[in-house]
């Protein structure tokens, strides 16, 4: 009941007007999107409506962000479509969607319990952006045949082309007519309308299309319609407990859960930061878990936080999670009153609204920026996009996560090593390759710009060895870039000392970080370390330096 308390907290009396307005604005967009994304997932249109009722209440109860608009999302709908294919033969996709939503919800709940919110780190910016771009293009590609009235289907380019070939590139002119009309109106509204008018446009186009469809008696002309929605019933029912079905959908559910969490978190954080509000990642996990479980019990599909609707919610002035509650209520009213007119809605009009919604979110600049900053990451980004578009979401995400880890390993594997010298007249030491510095012939100062980890320590001894001069008597490693030392690093440090000792040289360390030194001490390194640890590199260099020898410029 603590959650209900934090939800209401007596504040709703102050905020209800703002929240209700935001809810109205969001509902106007949510109606067409919920129907369209359900169809995108290969499910009946009303599933989208069900997924926009109870899930919003549960997010309001358990979540944390006042701006996150939960419900059907295009990318998750695409992932749902690709996952439902895995269901065993003979099981209806609507039944499978409930199980999938239940699994997504349970996995998110488990992640919240086990405090796995750090798992979001698995998706780096290149992977996330590459994935979203690929998914957007795949969604657009899958909606083209619907717009054209073609029977072709598929969520990746090869499947789509094969399917179009089988159907002999057949199109249905009247359906296409409705689709192009809607597309034109939507693009024009985006171009010329602002403010409230722009927000109402998608719903207005839908209503216009219904009127036109009825006026020209579209079914007689062969136009593909959404068709009669069954009477709305919010009866709660358990999702199927068929073990085989649960197993078949589990891998897909894990990816959907990860993507639902990360994409929602990114949206909630970026909106929250504009008002210095912090997002509680665990609460978000709980909120999304509750929303998905609610979807599973009320005839819905996997849900997440929508970028476009959340931005709208923020702009429209939402102040608390009560706006989600109001949205659910408005959606309930709409669902009851829209059943009859929606039967007349051409599918190609919904396809047009999906196309406009997703393609407006496409961003190519990050590809350029990544290419200029780090080619390997740009290639990873593009690779993920191409895989999602040509193979599927699983392949894309899999490559992305593995690729990110490989780049991380490579990054730590080849540390930058700097011979450091003294800036004349100061106690500052800098890379001798970049600054005018002085070196001392008998004391070698080195800085290795990386933590000492198993990925790189194999070369530590060789790196130091290669910098030794004939006159060197002592080596001082400046440890300020060393943020941690793992067990392999500890062994390498010991081996370095032994190797230097065998040549009559002493190894000293300077500017060791506090936590690193603590760890070394607790591991008993004082039993074998023979050198000194200096607070500043300058003290380390000057210790027992014979007065006669002078610093030299290299």
The residues binding a copy of itself (CB under 8 A) are 118, 120-121, 123-126, 269-270, 273-274, 276, 278, 369-370, 372-374, 377-378, 404-405, 407-416, 418, 428, 431, 434, 449-451, 453-456, 458, 461-462, 465-466, 480-481, 483-484, 486-488, 490-491, 495, 499, 502-503, 513-515, 519, 522-524, 536
**Minimal distance, residue 499 CB to a copy of itself, in Å:** 5
Hey, how many other C-beta atoms are within 10 angstroms of the C-beta on 206? 24
Contact between 227 and 53 under an 8 Å Cβ cutoff? The reply is: no
**Minimal distance, residue 451 CB to a copy of itself, in Å:** 8
CA 235, CA 237: separation in Å to the nearest integer?
A: 6
**Minimal distance, residue 193 CB to a copy of itself, in Å:** 28
CB nearer to a copy of itself: pick between 29 and 123 = 123
CB nearer to a copy of itself: pick between 247 and 426 = 426
CB nearer to a copy of itself: pick between 89 and 118 = 118
CB nearer to a copy of itself: pick between 115 and 196 = 115
**Minimal distance, residue 241 CB to a copy of itself, in Å:** 32
**Minimal distance, residue 373 CB to a copy of itself, in Å:** 3
CB nearer to a copy of itself: pick between 200 and 407 = 407
**Minimal distance, residue 107 CB to a copy of itself, in Å:** 19
**Minimal distance, residue 256 CB to a copy of itself, in Å:** 20
The packing angle between helices 157-166 and 375-390, to 10°, is 30
Residue in the block written with tokens 């419900």: 71
CA 392, CA 394: separation in Å to the nearest integer?
A: 6
CA 238 to chain centre: 30
Question: Which three-class secondary structure state does DSSP give residue 359?
Answer: helix
CA 26, CA 75: separation in Å to the nearest integer?
A: 19
CB nearer to a copy of itself: pick between 229 and 418 = 418
**Minimal distance, residue 469 CB to a copy of itself, in Å:** 13
Hey, how many other C-beta atoms are within 10 angstroms of the C-beta on 401? 16
Q: In sequence order, which residues have a C-beta less than 8 Å from that of residue 85 and are 6 or more positions away? A: none
Neighbouring-strand partners of residue 485:
452
The packing angle between helices 74-84 and 347-359, to 10°, is 120
Both structure tokens of 539: 């003290």
Write the DSSP string, 65-115: -SS-EEE--HHHHHHHHHHHTTSPTT--HHHHHHHHHHHHHHHHHHHHHTT
CB nearer to a copy of itself: pick between 62 and 420 = 420
CB nearer to a copy of itself: pick between 183 and 380 = 380
Both structure tokens of 389: 């578009």
CA 358, CA 144: separation in Å to the nearest integer?
A: 13
Contact between 3 and 62 under an 8 Å Cβ cutoff? The reply is: yes
CA 353, CA 40: separation in Å to the nearest integer?
A: 12
Hey, how many other C-beta atoms are within 10 angstroms of the C-beta on 183? 19
CB nearer to a copy of itself: pick between 18 and 486 = 486
CB nearer to a copy of itself: pick between 2 and 274 = 274
CA 416, CA 95: separation in Å to the nearest integer?
A: 56
491, HSE (Cβ side, Cα atoms, 13 Å): 9
Contact between 253 and 104 under an 8 Å Cβ cutoff? The reply is: yes
Contact between 523 and 490 under an 8 Å Cβ cutoff? The reply is: yes
**Minimal distance, residue 365 CB to a copy of itself, in Å:** 11
CB nearer to a copy of itself: pick between 144 and 517 = 517
**Minimal distance, residue 244 CB to a copy of itself, in Å:** 27
**Minimal distance, residue 339 CB to a copy of itself, in Å:** 43
């Amino acid at each position: 009941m603590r959650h209900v308390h934090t939800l209401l907290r007596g504040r709703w009396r102050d905020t209800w007007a703002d929240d209700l307005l935001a809810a109205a604005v969001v509902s106007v967009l949510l109606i067409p999107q919920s129907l369209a994304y359900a169809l995108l997932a290969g499910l009946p249109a009303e599933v989208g409506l069900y997924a926009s009722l109870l899930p919003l209440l549960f997010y309001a109860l358990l979540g944390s962000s006042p701006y996150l608009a939960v419900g059907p999302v295009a990318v998750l709908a695409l992932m749902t479509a690709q996952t439902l294919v895995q269901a065993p033969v003979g099981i209806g996709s609507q039944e499978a969607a409930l199980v999938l939503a239940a699994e997504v919800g349970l996995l998110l709940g488990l992640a919240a319990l086990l405090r796995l919110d750090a798992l979001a780190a698995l998706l780096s910016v290149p992977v996330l952006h590459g994935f979203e771009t690929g998914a957007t293009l795949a969604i657009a590609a899958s909606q083209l045949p619907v717009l054209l009235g073609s029977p072709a289907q598929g969520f990746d380019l090869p499947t789509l082309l094969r399917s179009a070939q089988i159907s002999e590139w057949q199109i249905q002119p009247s359906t296409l007519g409705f689709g192009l009309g809607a597309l034109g109106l939507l693009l024009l509204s985006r171009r010329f309308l602002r403010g409230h008018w722009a927000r109402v446009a998608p719903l207005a186009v839908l209503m216009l299309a219904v009127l036109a469809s009825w006026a020209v008696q579209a079914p007689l002309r062969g136009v593909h319609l959404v068709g009669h929605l069954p009477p709305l019933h919010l009866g709660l029912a358990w999702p199927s407990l068929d073990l085989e079905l649960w197993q078949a959908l589990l891998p897909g559910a894990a990816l959907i859960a990860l993507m639902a969490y990360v994409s929602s978190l990114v949206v909630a954080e970026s909106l929250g930061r504009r008002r210095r509000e912090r997002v509680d990642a665990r609460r978000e996990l709980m909120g999304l878990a509750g929303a998905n479980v609610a979807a599973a019990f009320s005839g819905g599909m996997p849900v997440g936080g929508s970028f476009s609707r959340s931005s709208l919610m923020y702009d429209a002035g939402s102040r608390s999670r009560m706006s989600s509650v109001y949205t659910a209520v408005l959606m309930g009213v709409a669902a009851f009153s829209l059943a009859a007119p929606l039967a007349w809605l051409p599918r190609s009009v919904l396809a047009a609204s999906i196309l406009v919604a997703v393609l407006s979110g496409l961003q190519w600049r990050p590809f350029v920026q990544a290419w200029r900053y780090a080619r390997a990451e740009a290639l990873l980004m593009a690779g993920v996009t191409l895989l999602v578009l040509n193979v599927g979401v699983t392949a894309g995400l899999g490559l992305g996560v593995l690729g990110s880890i490989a780049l991380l390993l490579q990054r730590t594997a080849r540390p930058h090593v700097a011979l450091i010298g003294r800036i004349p007249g100061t106690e500052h030491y800098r890379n001798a390759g970049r600054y005018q510095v002085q070196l001392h012939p008998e004391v070698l100062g080195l800085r290795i710009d990386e933590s000492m980890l198993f990925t790189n320590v194999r070369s530590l001894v060789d790196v130091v060895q290669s910098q030794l001069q004939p006159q060197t008597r002592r080596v001082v490693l400046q440890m300020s870039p060393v943020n941690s030392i793992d067990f392999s690093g500890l062994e390498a440090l010991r081996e370095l000392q032994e190797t230097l000792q065998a040549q009559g040289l002493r190894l000293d360390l300077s500017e060791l970080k506090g936590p690193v030194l603590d760890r070394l001490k607790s591991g008993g390194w004082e039993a074998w370390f023979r050198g000194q640890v200096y607070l500043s590199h300058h003290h380390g260099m000057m210790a027992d330096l014979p007065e006669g020898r002078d610093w030299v410029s290299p």
